[in-house]
Amino acid sequence: MSTNSYRNGGSGSRGGAMKFENYSNNNSKYSPSSSFKSKVQQSAAAASTLRRSSPGTGRDDSTISARVRVAVRLRPRNSEEMAADADFADCVELQSELKRLKLQKNNWDSDTYEFDEVLTEFASQKRVYEVVAKPVVESVLDGYNGTVMAYGQTGTGKTYTLGQLGEEDAADRGIMLRAMEDILAEVSPENDLISVSYLQLYMETIQDLLNPSNDNIAIVEDPKSGDVSLPGATLVEIRDHRSFMELLQLGEAHRFAANTRLNAESSRSHAILMVHVKRSVRGKTSPFSSENGNMTPMGKTLKPPIIRKSKLVIVDLAGSERIDKSGSEGHTLEEAKSINLSLSALGKCINALAENRAHVPVRDSKLTRLLRDSFGGTARTSLVITIGPSPRHRGETSSTIMFGQRAMKVENMVKLKEEFDYKSLSRKLEIQLDKLIAEHERQQKAFENEIERITLEAQKRVAEVEQNYADAFEKEKVKCQKDYMESVKRLEEQSAAKQENNGHKKFKDGLSDNGTDQKSNSQSQPPVPPTSSEVTKIKQKLNDEILLRKAAEAEVDNLNNQLIHWKNMESARNSEISKLRKMLEDEECGKAKLEEEIEMLQSQLLQISFEADQSRRNLDKRLSGEAPSSLDSLIPRVKDQQLREPGDGEKASVVKLFEQVGLHKILSLLQSEDADVRIHAVKVVANLAAEESNQEKIVHAGGLTSLLALLKSSNDETIHRVAAGAIANLAMNETNQELIMSQGGISLLSLTATKAEDPQTLRMVAGAIANLCGNDKLQIKLRAEGGIRALLGMVRCRHPDVLAQVARGIANFAKCESRASNQGTKTGKSVLIEDGALPWIVQNANNEASPIRRHIELALCHLAQHGKYLTAFYVYLIKIQDGQIYGKPKMLDFFVTEVNAREMINGGALWELVRISRDCSREDIRALAHRTLKSSSGFQAELKRLRIDYG
Q: Which residues are annotated as a binding site?
A: 152-159
Q: Is the dihedral of CA 586, 591, 594, 599 positive or negative?
A: negative
Angle at 773 between CA 772 and CA 779, to 5 degrees: 105
Residues 6+ apart with CB under 8 A from 899: 827, 828, 829, 830, 866, 867
For β-strands 380-387 and 146-152, DSSP reports them as: parallel
3 state SS of 28: coil
The candidate with the shortest Cα–Cα distance to 175, out of 77, 267, 73, is: 73
3 state SS of 625: coil
Secondary structure of 86-126 as H, E, C letters = CCCCCCEEEECCCCEEEEECCCCCEEEEECCEEECCCCCHH
d(CA 935, CA 933): 6
How far out from the chain centre does Cα 308 lie? Answer: 15
Q: Are 295 and 289 in contact (CB under 8 A)?
A: yes
d(CA 388, CA 848): 37
3 state SS of 182: helix
Q: Are 32 and 446 in contact (CB under 8 A)?
A: yes
d(CA 556, CA 551): 9
d(CA 293, CA 287): 11
For β-strands 257-258 and 236-237, DSSP reports them as: unpaired
Give the length of the chain: 951
d(CA 172, CA 161): 9
For β-strands 380-387 and 69-74, DSSP reports them as: parallel
State the Cα torsion 317-323-327-328 to the nearest 10°: 60
3 state SS of 307: strand
Q: Which residues are annotated as a binding site for ATP?
A: 152-159
Q: Is 436 exposed, middle or buried (0-12, 13-18, 19+ CB in 10 A)?
A: buried
d(CA 450, CA 30): 8
For 630, what's the count of Cα atoms within 13 Å in the CB-facing half-sphere? 18
Q: Are 722 and 686 in contact (CB under 8 A)?
A: yes
The candidate with the shortest Cα–Cα distance to 553, out of 621, 628, 476, is: 476
Host H or E run for residue 227: none
β-strand partners of 273: 198, 314
- CA distances 880 to 379, 388, 696, 821, 890, Å, are 96, 97, 67, 41, 17
Cite the beta strand spans of 270-351 per DSSP E: 270-281, 306-316
